[in-house]
Structure formats: structure tokens, C-alpha cells
Amino acid sequence: MAIPTLPTPTGAHPVGTTSIHLQDVSRPDPWVADVPTRELMISIWYPTARPSGPRARYLTRAESEKVLAGQQAIPPDALSSVRTHAFPDAPLDPGLRELPLIVLSPGFTRPRASLTSIGEDLASHGYVAVAIDHTHETAATAFPDGRVAAFALGRDFPRTPEFWHKVKTGRARDASFVLDQLLGSNPPWAGAAGLAPDRIGMAGHSAGGAATIAAMLADERIRAGGNVDGSTDPLIPDTGLDRPFLFLGRDGQYSPGDGPAADTWARDWTLLTGWKRWLVVAGAKHPSFTDLGLLADQLGMPLGAATSGSRTMTITRTYLRAFFDRHLRDAEHPPFDHLNAEHPEVRCCLPPDRPADSGPR
């Protein structure tokens, strides 16, 4: 079997990466009663000027085995050999300052590594991207001391609205804690001095995308947010959310009128009072917006999507980067709305009877 490989980043900068263990001693773990401290692992991708050595590991063998549990046709260690494009612990490019920071939150049960293609691509274009493992919500989180925290939310946690509310608001607290650490007086990463504290965005997939709304409501430092294929909770107050927001999801699931998931976006749409777009991608499946879609194709377990995982990842990276370019860098070239001509799979949607545009351009 060929070694599975992530798509090459499209920007001009080589990419460095590092993984950091964080401990929030101010609160216990929200899911495991006898764990007194919230522990997180984060991955940071950033532009570097001096790449050298082997590429970063995608997942440990233990994490790969947990993520692939039940997939009999795939070797359990297959995701530990995925070829990435980032260089571990390479220094941040010293010539770059005031870099925008993007927080990434993965889908429920999914590791932070599943957003590596997005993180690497953003870094190659001069962003710093940080993905969070929300411990005990993912299949496995490996810590530097060898411990592996397993998924802890099985049958004892019925999937009620209250449960999902806790997931999304808990992830918002994780995101704010990570920002506190990176922007604080004693950051855990040497490159943190190059960050622009007034140019912060967040995006996520599935539960991570829905959690982006919770994080923006809780933390005004997050200036722009994106939800990729995640149904949302009724969190936005009647006064609305006035910062830029992007919905990007599957056609057939998140087009207006598709059903309960799309209805959550329609409800939130009326409360988003800033710049906003609602886009759907034809032929995509839920994992297609993450590495897992394109890796499934390479590992001989395709998702049955009409649009390949590789193509959907190209779309996801392009639109997320264009969104953040516009709202964190004031870029207009190319104009966001002109991207559709190059991506015929993408369609701009609006709920019935809504104006064609809303909010400042």
C-alpha cells in the first residue's frame, strides 16, 4: 500500500509545527470526575524560514489504532505513517511579525490531526494555526509522558441537547484558555511574540464548527469565525452576533430546506448581523472537509462521495483562507464572491426571503 500523503500546502512559506501540552489548573476536566485539571494537547503550524529534517508525525501508533478501531480493512497503524509537509520544531520565520492566529477545533471524536491539511495550508500563507484536541471527546489524545486519554463519552452520556450544549460551550472554554496561554506574558511557544493579538479567527468542523459560535460569544478576541458542516445550538442572543461568519457545508444536508441541520443555520442566519456567507458543496460527505476524506480515498476506503476528498479539501482550504484574508488582513484580491467561478461545486445559499447580501462588505 502506498504511503498516504496530505496535499501540498499552496503558499510560499515552508511550514513548521510543534505540539504543546497545556494544563488549565483553574478547572477540572468536564467529562471525567476524578481528573482535577483540564489537560489539552495543541498543534501549532506556522511559517518557517529554515526547514530541515524529517516531516512531522501525523498520529502516534496508539492514536491511529483508536481512530481506526473497527476498520478491519485498514492496518491499525495506517494513520501513524501519513506523510505531512511540516517540519517539527523549526523556528518561526524571524522576518515575520503580527501574524494572524486561527484556532481550529475538530469534529466530535476526531483528533486535532484531522485538520492538518488546513493548518499547514494556512501556515504556508503566513498564518499561525493552532488545532486543539478536546480531551476525552476524541478517540485518543497522546500526552508527552506516554499517557493516552481515551474517548470517555460512550453510552453513559446520552446525546441530548444538554449534552451537545456542554460540548460546544466546553470547547469555547478550551479555545479561550489556549488564547490566554499563547497571548499571555509567559507563552508556552517561543514564536508567540510574532502573533497579532487583534487578528484572531476560529473555524472548526462539525461540533468544532458549531463551537466556534460559542467561542465568539464568550471571547471578543475572536474577530471572525467559520462553521464547516456542523449543526448549531440556539446560542446567539436576540441582539445578534456582529462579527464576520462563514457557513460551509454539504449540499443535501445544509442547503436551506434540507432538514433539521440546515434549519439550525437558518435560525442563526437571521441573528448574524455582520458580513456573512452560506455556502454548500455538491457531492461532499461529512468527513470530506477534513483529512479523513482524502485519506480514506488513498487507503482504499472511499466515502462514496461524488466529489473526491482531495477536491473538497481544496475547496475547504481555499474558502477558509479567503474568508480570513478578507476579515483579518483586509484583502480583496481575489474578491471572496468571485471564487465560485473556479469552484462550480460550490453554491451560495440564503434562507427564503432573505436579501442577497447582508452586513458590510
Q: Is the link from the previous residue into 334 a cis peptide, with omega within 30 of 0?
A: yes
> What does the pLDDT read at residue 340?
81
More confident residue, 46 or 301: 46
Rounded CA separation 291/210 (Å):
19
Would you say residue 161 has pLDDT above 70? yes
Residue 200 in grid coordinates: 484572531
CB 250 within 8 A of CB 285: yes
Q: What's the mean pLDDT when you consider all of the chain? A: 93
Q: How far is CA 196 from CA 92, 186, 223, 230, in A?
A: 14, 16, 12, 28
Rounded CA separation 247/199 (Å):
20
pLDDT tens digits for range 97-143: 999 999 999 999 999 999 999 999 999 999 999 999 999 999 999 99
> What does the pLDDT read at residue 50?
83
Closest CA to 226 of 200, 206, 242, 203: 203
Alpha helices by DSSP H, 11-98: 61-67
Closest CA to 319 of 216, 228, 214, 210: 228
Query: Which domains, and CATH codes, for the chain?
Result: 15-348 (3.40.50.1820)
Rounded CA separation 308/204 (Å):
20
